[in-house]
Chain A
Amino acid sequence: MSEKTLTRMDLTESVFREVGLSRNDSAQLVETVLQYMSDALVRGEQVKISSFGTFSVREKAARMGRNPKTGKEVPINPRRVLTFRPSHLMKERVAEGNKR
């Protein structure tokens, strides 16, 4: 498997090819999409993209952790974490595409 990493630039290029916008505007729109999704999540909303997946925010309670190097106990503050649950369609495509 020759692994490649896609970035904003690749998404911008796809948008540029798909719609008759300039590269600059395409980049701006990619940024806007990520920005709006982030803003909704920061407000505590779920972001549900059909046939892609669902991003949701979970509250984690405070707990005692341990520094694995020193063995010392350290308190971990309550915090919010983001989880992504891929849709069935995405799971199927990823499983199918990586089969050998």
Chain B
Amino acid sequence: MIRSELIQKIADENPHLYQRDVERIVNTIFEEITEAMANGNRVELRGFGAFSVKKRDARVGRNPRTGEAVQVEEKHVPFFKTGKLLRDRLNGKS
């Protein structure tokens, strides 16, 4: 399923809404989640999962082609942990 299919499905089942509003709603949700993480915040959606930001320490990496040591800066990466309900549903429970 891709973004446009998700939007289409919601639009089909909510005929009282304009397609363009459904688009804005779906886009707003994903934008808010990304924006929260960009601000260093967590997003917790019970039953679905939680988005958080993890810190990766600075390290000395290596250029795999030349074997040369390179300094890699500290950085922050997005992380998702599946919620209990969804994890159970994936495995046929509940």
Question: Do A and B come from the same complex?
Answer: yes
Binary flags per residue of A1-41, CB closer than 8 Å to B gives 1, else 0 = 11111111011001100110100001001101110111011
Task: Check if B24 is an interface residue, CB within 8 A of chain A.
Answer: yes
Whether the Cβ atoms of A94 and B2 lie closer than 8 Å is no
Q: Determine which of B39, B45, B46, B90 lies in contact with A41 in the assembled complex, contact meaning CB atoms within 8 Å.
A: B90
Residues of B within 8 A of A55 (CB): 80
Whether the Cβ atoms of A7 and B38 lie closer than 8 Å is no
Whether the Cβ atoms of A50 and B40 lie closer than 8 Å is no
Whether the Cβ atoms of B77 and A15 lie closer than 8 Å is no
A7 to B42, alpha carbons, bound, how many Å? 9
Residues of B within 8 A of A10 (CB): 32, 36
Task: Check if A91 is an interface residue, CB within 8 A of chain B.
Answer: yes
A40 to B8, alpha carbons, bound, how many Å? 14
Task: Please tell me the size bucket of the interface on B.
Answer: 35 or more
Whether the Cβ atoms of A98 and B38 lie closer than 8 Å is yes
Given contacts A48-B3, A94-B38, whether A29 and B75 have CB atoms under 8 Å apart is: no
Smallest Cβ distance from A12 to chain B, in angstroms?
10
Task: Check if A76 is an interface residue, CB within 8 A of chain B.
Answer: no
Task: Check if B65 is an interface residue, CB within 8 A of chain A.
Answer: no
Residues of B within 8 A of A4 (CB): 36, 39, 41-42
Given contacts A40-B1, A45-B1, A47-B1, whether A33 and B82 have CB atoms under 8 Å apart is: no
Task: Give A18's nearest chain B residue, CB to CB.
Answer: B28
10 additional A-B pairs beyond A11-B29, A30-B29, A83-B80, beta carbons within 8 Å, are A4-B41, A5-B44, A6-B42, A14-B28, A15-B25, A18-B24, A18-B28, A48-B1, A48-B2, A49-B6
B interface residues, Cβ below 8 angstroms from A: 1-3, 6, 9-10, 13-14, 21, 24-26, 28-30, 32-49, 53, 55, 75-78, 80, 82, 86-87, 89-91
